[in-house]
Amino acid sequence: MKMNVQEQVLPELDLETLEKKENKIVLYNDEVNTFDHVIDMLVATCDHTPIQAEQCMLIVHYKGKCNVKSGEYDDLKPRCTALLEAGLTAEIE
């Protein structure tokens, strides 16, 4: 019995891309901020559309947390700081 074996050539991996960890801002639920404030802050700091911000707010409310923005750390740091300064609970993971 003859087996048919195919060789697959994988593309060369870019090590710099592999080493870059995908960072994300995680927003946590609290009992202090209003839904409108959370939505307004996500629109202002994370470039969300109002609908996207509302969806994230609902996920945070019902699940306790939500990834609201991903990207490079240097881009996320000032956004997360703005959320914290607005009284929201967030961190970069």
Secondary structure (3-state) at 19: helix
Nearest CA to 61 out of 31, 40, 91 is that of: 31
> Could you give the angle at which helices 73-85 and 35-46 cross, rounded to 10 degrees?
150
| The model's pTM | 0.78
pLDDT of residue 7: 60
Does a structural domain hold residue 10?
no
What count of other Cβ atoms lies within 10 Å of the Cβ of residue 51?
9
* Total domains in the fold of the chain: 1
Secondary structure (3-state) at 36: helix
| Average pLDDT, 10 consecutive residues per value, the chain (93 residues) | 58 55 94 97 98 98 98 97 98 97
pLDDT of residue 18: 47
- Check which CATH number belongs to the domain holding 74 and give it: 3.30.1390.10
Does a structural domain hold residue 5?
no
Report the residue count for the chain: 93
pLDDT of residue 5: 59
